[in-house]
């Protein structure tokens, strides 16, 4: 029999859905993807060039497990300049994607039965990572009416003597919420008071709109920094999802533990990718800003379209590249005698009838919502929204 650990694990719905849409497309289905969790842009040319040079120069051997020094120095500089965070290279660990940085962090902190608080809606993998580490996820809902901001009072109620950590993600996947400085400060102070850690996943930090500002929680005080693992990566900021590179910054003791795990799991991240990441951080940042502006234009269009649809509301989220309209008024509605009961069934209806792929909110502990990614061209977004509106109008509410 397979391990208890694996038997308790749910598959990643986001990853599975991407494979399913690919399959339908191969069979000729004209599907518009709103399920995508990656930028629809190519990696900037100067970053690709650095990778080609690395190959030509024979930079193809193992690197140090925590990452090559040149890259860790570039990351330290970035953290100081962008986030007002001071870390030395030995307090930084480069990993194969932010995913690996996160699981290294969770495995380093969590023992059997330890509780890890996760504000919801949340990205699909946090809960499963905690379960893999034999910890107990403690889910604390945020409210749509409060813009999905952290509910500090509810988090206070969830803290117990078993609380080991909290995992936060701002800008948030799937809600798009960007947490306020005030709420981050309160959470940080709570962590100091009750002696728990903070895993802060900041992979969408560059994708904020409407003058919104991303705050790194570890920058708020020395005591907060002492108990925070800041996670970041190259996938979203530099359109480098396939290159697989992320990193963690934390006090040395934690980084050493994470490094120990990584040393047995995968060793250092891909050497060529690391070279290109140095270029990503130290080269021109123009393409990054161009990409952000495109997302902003799409976000505004999508938001307007969604809020103009009947029986549907959508919160004006200022970060990442997702919106999660509330579709719960369609639950109980009928099409061809079939009742649509939840976000799964509504998403299936939209895939079938409107030929658009969205992620059911249930995947993110957001049962009233569906997630729409605007990592797609304006033209496709327009066409997809036309189709969605038409399909929803077939439902009798
Ligand atoms: N955190 C969040 C919130 C994400 O949406 C993703 C996307 N996959 C990741 C982490 C993982 O990123 P990476 O590609 O760097 O592993
Ligand atoms: N993070 C993306 C998403 O939420 C990519 C898929 C995944 O790794 O979960 O869709």
pLDDT recorded at residue 396: 87
pLDDT recorded at residue 84: 98
Residue 201 Cα, ligand 1 centroid: separation in angstroms? 8
Band of the pLDDT at 252, cuts 50, 70, 90? very high
> What number does the ligand 2 atom closest to the CA of 123 have?
4
Q: pLDDT, tens digit, for every residue of 267-301?
A: 999 999 999 999 999 999 999 999 999 999 999 99
Q: Which ligand is nearest to the CA of 357?
A: 2
Asked whether the CA dihedral 361, 316, 148, 16 is positive or negative, the reply is positive
Model pTM score: 0.97
Percent of the chain scored above 90 by pLDDT? 92
In this prediction, residues 168-176 reach a mean pLDDT of 98
**Ligand 1 proximity of 123 Cβ (cutoff 6 Å):** yes
Pocket test for ligand 2, best of 17, 34, 37 (most atoms within 8 A of CB): 37
The separation between the first and the last C-alpha atoms of the chain, rounded to the nearest angstrom, is: 46
Pocket test for ligand 1, best of 13, 124, 234, 236 (most atoms within 8 A of CB): 236
Q: What's the mean pLDDT when you consider all of the chain?
A: 96
pLDDT recorded at residue 350: 96
**Ligand 2 proximity of 357 Cβ (cutoff 6 Å):** no
For residues 306 and 298, what is the distance between their CA atoms, to the nearest angstrom? 12
pLDDT recorded at residue 242: 98
pLDDT recorded at residue 301: 98
Q: Is the pLDDT reported for residue 74 higher than 90?
A: yes
Q: What is the largest CA-CA distance in the chain?
A: 65
In this prediction, residues 85-89 reach a mean pLDDT of 98
pLDDT recorded at residue 92: 98
Which residue is it, tokens 């694990």? 9
Q: Is the pLDDT reported for residue 14 higher than 90?
A: no
Percent of the chain scored above 70 by pLDDT? 100
Q: Is the pLDDT reported for residue 15 higher than 90?
A: no
The residue nearest atom 8 of ligand 2, judged by CA position, is 15
For residues 71 and 247, what is the distance between their CA atoms, to the nearest angstrom? 10
In this prediction, residues 335-358 reach a mean pLDDT of 94
Band of the pLDDT at 19, cuts 50, 70, 90? confident
**Ligand 2 proximity of 124 Cβ (cutoff 6 Å):** yes
- Tokens representing 63 are 């690197």
Q: pLDDT, tens digit, for every residue of 113-123?
A: 999 999 999 99
Residue 82 Cα, ligand 1 centroid: separation in angstroms? 20
Q: Is the pLDDT reported for residue 18 higher than 90?
A: no
**Ligand 1 proximity of 247 Cβ (cutoff 6 Å):** no
**Ligand 2 proximity of 172 Cβ (cutoff 6 Å):** no
Nearest to 225 by CA among 119, 75, 76, 85: 85
Pocket test for ligand 1, best of 148, 203, 247 (most atoms within 8 A of CB): 203
**Ligand 2 proximity of 373 Cβ (cutoff 6 Å):** no
Q: pLDDT, tens digit, for every residue of 216-247?
A: 999 999 999 999 999 999 999 999 999 999 99
**Ligand 2 proximity of 14 Cβ (cutoff 6 Å):** yes
**SS3 category, 229:** strand
**Ligand 1 proximity of 277 Cβ (cutoff 6 Å):** no
Residue 17 Cα, ligand 2 centroid: separation in angstroms? 10
pLDDT recorded at residue 397: 86
Distances in Å between the Cα of 289 and the Cα atoms of 50, 208, 284 are 20, 11, 10
Residue 223 Cα, ligand 2 centroid: separation in angstroms? 32
Distances in Å between the Cα of 76 and the Cα atoms of 281, 282, 328 are 10, 12, 45
- Tokens representing 70 are 């040149």
């Amino acid at each position: 029999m397979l391990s208890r650990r694996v038997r308790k694990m749910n598959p990643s719905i986001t990853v599975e859905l991407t494979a399913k849409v690919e399959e339908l497309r191969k069979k000729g289905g004209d599907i518009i993807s709103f399920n995508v969790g990656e930028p629809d842009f190519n990696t900037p040319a100067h970053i690709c060039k650095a990778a080609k040079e690395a190959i030509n120069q024979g930079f193809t051997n193992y690197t140090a497990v925590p990452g090559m020094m040149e890259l860790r120095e570039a990351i330290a500089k970035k953290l100081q300049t962008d986030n007002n965070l001071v870390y030395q290279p030995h307090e930084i660990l480069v990993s194969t994607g932010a995913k690996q940085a996160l699981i290294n962090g969770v495995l380093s902190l969590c023992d059997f039965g330890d509780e890890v608080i996760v504000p919801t809606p949340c990205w699909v993998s946090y809960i499963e990572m905690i379960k893999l580490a034999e910890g107990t996820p403690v889910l604390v809902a945020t409210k749509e009416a409060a813009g999905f901001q952290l509910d500090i009072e509810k988090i206070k109620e969830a803290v117990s003597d078993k609380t080991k950590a909290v995992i936060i993600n701002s800008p948030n996947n799937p809600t798009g919420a960007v947490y306020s400085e005030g709420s981050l400060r309160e959470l940080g102070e709570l962590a100091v008071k009750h002696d728990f850690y903070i895993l802060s996943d900041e992979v969408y930090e560059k994708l904020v709109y409407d003058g919104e500002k991303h705050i790194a929680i570890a920058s708020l005080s020395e005591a907060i920094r002492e108990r925070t693992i800041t996670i970041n990566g190259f996938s979203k900021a530099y359109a480098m999802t396939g290159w697989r590179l992320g990193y963690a910054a934390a006090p040395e003791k934690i980084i050493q533990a994470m490094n120990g795990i990584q040393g047995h799991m995968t060793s250092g991240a891909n050497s060529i990718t690391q070279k290109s990441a140095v270029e990503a951080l130290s080269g021109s940042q123009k393409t990054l800003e161009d990409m952000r502006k495109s997302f902003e234009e799409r976000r505004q269009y999508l938001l307007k379209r969604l809020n103009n649809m009947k029986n549907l509301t959508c919160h004006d989220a200022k970060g990442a590249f997702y919106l999660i309209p509330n579709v719960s008024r369609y639950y109980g509605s009928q099409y061809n005698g079939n009742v649509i009961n939840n976000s799964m069934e509504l998403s299936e209806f939209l895939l079938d009838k409107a030929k658009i792929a969205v992620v059911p909110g249930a995947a993110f502990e957001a049962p009233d919502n569906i997630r729409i990614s605007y990592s797609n061209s304006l033209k496709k977004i327009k066409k997809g929204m036309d189709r969605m509106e038409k399909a929803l109008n077939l439902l009798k509410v």
